[in-house]
């Protein structure tokens, strides 16, 4: 069953056993730590120079960002541009942000409301990931290509966390449990898929 950002229905819920010892709690970060983390990520993203991705806080709210990705060359999404929203909680980076497409996107793993089914935004999330990783992963998801990325944070949140220096992802659409069944059915025929993308695509500023 496909999942979107948020709770997965079949996840078991822990119950109390009456033990005197409290159950371990999930890691959290206070608002000030999250603020510093996001400021560091913004600076790294601006200095990184990655092609086809960008993101900035919305007005004066560092916890709400607007992102932009462009379709990669030699993919069915080449020449397209998509706007996204990213919303961070006080639990970031121990919990992923809520990410949605603001521009309609015809893709097997994007529904009509812009929700995205991507494992690193759900059960495969790691506190080592950042906004850059998210944007590159979504950009790669559009074309089903290999993503190679690195991680290095100038602001360490937890010295006990071992950060991955390099990570390799083969980001491909999940057509076995899609959010958009029509897109999943067309994915194997890239020529017809491209035609549908062109038909449905509306530039963000149109």
**Residues labelled catalytic:** 117
Judged by DSSP in three states, 100 sits in strand
**CA separation for the pair 190, 156 (Å, rounded):** 43
Token pair of 5 as six digits: 């950002």
**CA separation for the pair 163, 171 (Å, rounded):** 21
**Which residues make Cβ contacts (< 8 Å) with residue 6, sequence separation at least 6?**
98
**CA separation for the pair 201, 80 (Å, rounded):** 8
CA distances from 182 to 34, 110, 117, 188, 201 (A): 39, 11, 15, 11, 15
**Which residues make Cβ contacts (< 8 Å) with residue 171, sequence separation at least 6?**
137, 140, 141, 144, 145, 146, 147
Judged by DSSP in three states, 168 sits in strand
**Burial of 51: CB neighbours in 10 Å, binned 0-12, 13-18, 19+:** exposed
């Amino acid at each position: 069953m496909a999942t979107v950002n948020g709770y997965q229905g079949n996840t078991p819920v822990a119950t109390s056993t009456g033990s005197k010892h409290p159950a371990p709690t999930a890691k959290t970060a206070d608002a000030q730590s999250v603020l510093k983390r996001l400021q560091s990520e913004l600076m790294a993203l601006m200095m990184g120079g990655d092609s086809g991705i960008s993101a900035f806080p919305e007005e004066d709210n560092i916890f709400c960002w607007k992102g932009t990705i462009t379709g990669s060359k030699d993919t069915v999404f080449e020449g397209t541009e998509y706007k996204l929203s990213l919303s961070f909680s006080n639990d970031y980076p121990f919990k992923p942000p809520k990410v949605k497409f603001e521009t309609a996107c015809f893709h097997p793993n994007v529904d009509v409301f812009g929700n995205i089914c991507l494992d690193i935004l759900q059960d495969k999330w790691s506190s080592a990931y950042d906004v850059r990783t998210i944007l590159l992963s979504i950009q790669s998801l559009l074309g089903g290509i290999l993503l190679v990325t690195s991680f290095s944070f100038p602001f360490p949140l937890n010295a006990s966390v071992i950060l991955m220096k390099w990570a390799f992802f083969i980001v491909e659409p999940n057509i076995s449990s899609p959010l958009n069944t029509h897109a999943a059915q067309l994915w194997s025929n890239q020529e017809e898929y491209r035609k549908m993308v062109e038909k449905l695509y509306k530039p963000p500023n149109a």
